[in-house]
Each structure stands twice: as structure tokens, then as C-alpha cells.
């Protein structure tokens, strides 16, 4: 391959990843900020389906989560529709579904380009980190507040996190927050109920754990970076 071919290939990879990023942020703006999807209308439609409502909501919510409908809104709607117990399992099912959808899309859209741009050495280090800590990276991300789970899952897919790690990590890491937001949705008529206070307490614990997880993850990443050694000065001062 000539240098010109390599440069053209690199430009194509950059353009592909940039296009993916623009698409994802456009979807995030339209759905999470502009609110172009009527979640109340979706809730009314699901409620009218009777016994099939929980399973249907898992499928619909998984798809909505993949296009950046905020997870807390979907979980609260689940609690409002199905109560705190069944609603938590419905929320978890939808969360795992979203994680799998976004992981697969991120892998298909960006994995090859990302690996070519990173180069063989960095890719090997990332693969080694994924093999050792991929599952727990997904779990830890789910505990960190303020990070879009869908966006993180797209990135994990582009980095090559296996689908099973994404599914299991999302299930483990999302369980506390699934309960919190679902319970708050179920308690929307009486936020002074013990269930609401329990949910708030769990949220506080999860936020503290998430802060420690983020700090530990940063330190692990910092320590894992290759350190360059400086060559000795050929003309040391006398």
C-alpha cells in the first residue's frame, strides 16, 4: 500500500467516525433535548395492550433507549405502568436490550475504523484491557452519574467490547438505578412514601460508589499508559 493509499484510508476512517459522532449527537439533541418523541403517547399505547404490555414495553423501551430517550424517563414510566417490582424487571430487560442494540451498532459502524486509526499497538493494549476488565468497565460506567448509558455503549461497541460483556455488565451495573427510577415512577403520586425515600437513599449510595469507580478507573487508565523512557544525555554536564 502506498503512502497516498494509506492517507486516503485514514481520511475515510476519520470521516466515518465523524459521521457516526454527528449522527449520535443529532439523535441525542432531537430526542433527549428537543423531545421529539411523545413518551406519554407511548405509555398510553403500551397500557392499552393488556397482558402483553410488559414484554412490549421491554422491546419498545430498548429501542427508544438506543436513540437516546433518557433512561430515567423510561424507567419511571415502567414504574408508573407496572409498579415497583415488575417494573424494575421490565426496566432491566429494556436496559440490557438497549445495551445490546447500541453495542452492535457501535461495533458495526465504528470498530474497524477505530482500530485502524489507533494502530496495532494501541489496539493490542485495548484488547488486553478488555479481556481483563471489559465486563467491570461496563459495570463501573453504569454506576457513574451523568454519563449517557446509550452513548457509552456505542463507544464500547466501537472499542470492541464483546456483546456478552455488554449484556451482563449492563444487567449488573444498571440494577440499582433501575430500581431507583422505577420506584420513583411508581411513587409519583406520593413522593413522601417509604418507597420513594428508599429509592433516594439507594441513588445516593450509587452516586458515591460511582464517584469512587470513576476515580479508580482514571487511576487504572493512567497507570496502564506506557511510560516513555528518556535516553541518557550523550554529553552530560561536568
Q: How many helices (H) and strands (E) does the chain have?
A: 8, 0
Average pLDDT on 151-167 reads 90
Using an 8 Å Cβ cutoff, are 192 and 139 in contact? no
The C-alpha cell at 5 is 493509499
* Residue 74 · residue 61 · CB < 8 Å: yes
Asked whether residue 184 is domain-assigned, the answer is yes
Asked if the model's pLDDT at residue 78 lies above 80, the reply is yes
Q: 0.75 exceeded by the pTM?
A: yes
Residue 190 has pLDDT above 80, yes or no: no
Q: Which three cell numbers stand for residue 191?
A: 413522593
Q: Please work out, in degrees rounded to the nearest 5, the angle formed at the alpha carbon of residue 75 by the alpha carbons of 74 and 78.
A: 90
Assigned domain for 231 exists: no
Asked whether residue 232 is assigned to any structural domain, the reply reads no
Whether the per-residue pLDDT at 120 is higher than 90: the answer is no
Specify if 83 maps to a domain: yes
Is the per-residue pLDDT at 230 higher than 60?
Answer: no
Range with lowest mean pLDDT among 5-19, 24-38, 135-149: 5-19
CA Rg value for the chain? 21
Q: In which domain, by residue range, is 26 found?
A: 3-224
> What mean pLDDT do residues 158-177 have?
92
Sign of the Cα pseudo-torsion (73, 78, 79, 80, in order): positive
The domain tally of the chain equals 1
pLDDT at 229: 45
For residues 139-155, average pLDDT: 87
Predicted pLDDT of residue 67: 92
pLDDT > 70 in the chain, percent: 86
Q: Of 173, 194, 171, 172, which is closest to residue 184 (Cα–Cα)?
A: 194
Residue 164: Cβ within 10 Å count: 12
% of the chain surpassing 90 pLDDT: 37
Q: Would you state the torsion angle of the CA atoms of residues 100, 101, 107, 109, taken in this order, to the nearest 10 degrees?
A: -170
**pLDDT band for position 238 (cuts 50, 70, 90):** very low
Measured at the alpha carbon of residue 214, what is the angle toward residues 208 and 216, in degrees to the nearest 5?
105
In a domain, 122, yes or no: yes
Residue 117 lies in a domain: yes
Label residue 85 by pLDDT band (50, 70, 90). very high
- Asked, for residue 229, whether it belongs to a domain, the answer is no
The pLDDT of residue 222: 65
pLDDT at 121 over 90: no
In a domain, 233, yes or no: no
Amino acid at each position: 500500500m502506498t503512502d497516498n493509499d494509506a492517507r486516503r484510508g485514514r481520511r475515510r476512517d476519520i470521516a466515518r467516525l465523524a459521521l457516526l459522532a454527528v449522527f449520535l449527537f443529532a439523535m441525542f439533541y432531537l430526542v433527549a433535548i428537543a423531545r421529539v418523541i411523545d413518551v406519554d403517547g407511548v405509555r398510553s399505547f403500551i397500557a392499552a395492550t393488556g397482558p402483553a404490555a410488559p414484554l412490549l414495553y421491554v422491546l419498545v423501551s430498548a429501542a427508544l433507549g438506543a436513540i437516546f430517550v433518557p433512561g430515567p424517563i423510561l424507567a419511571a414510566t415502567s414504574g408508573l405502568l407496572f409498579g415497583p417490582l415488575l417494573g424494575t424487571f421490565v426496566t432491566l430487560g429494556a436496559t440490557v436490550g438497549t445495551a445490546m442494540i447500541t453495542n452492535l451498532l457501535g461495533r458495526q459502524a465504528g470498530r474497524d475504523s477505530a482500530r485502524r486509526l489507533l494502530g496495532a499497538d494501541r489496539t493490542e493494549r485495548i484488547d488486553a484491557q478488555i479481556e481483563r476488565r471489559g465486563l467491570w468497565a461496563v459495570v463501573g460506567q453504569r454506576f457513574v452519574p451523568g454519563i449517557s448509558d446509550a452513548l457509552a455503549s456505542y463507544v464500547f461497541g466501537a472499542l470492541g467490547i464483546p456483546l456478552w460483556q455488554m449484556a451482563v455488565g449492563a444487567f449488573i451495573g444498571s440494577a440499582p438505578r433501575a430500581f431507583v427510577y422505577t420506584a420513583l415512577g411508581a411513587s409519583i403520586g406520593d413522593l413522601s412514601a417509604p418507597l420513594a425515600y428508599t429509592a433516594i437513599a439507594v441513588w445516593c449510595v450509587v452516586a458515591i460508589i460511582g464517584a469512587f469507580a470513576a476515580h479508580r478507573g482514571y487511576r487504572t487508565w493512567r497507570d496502564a499508559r506506557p511510560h516513555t523512557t528518556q535516553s541518557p544525555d550523550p554529553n552530560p554536564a561536568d
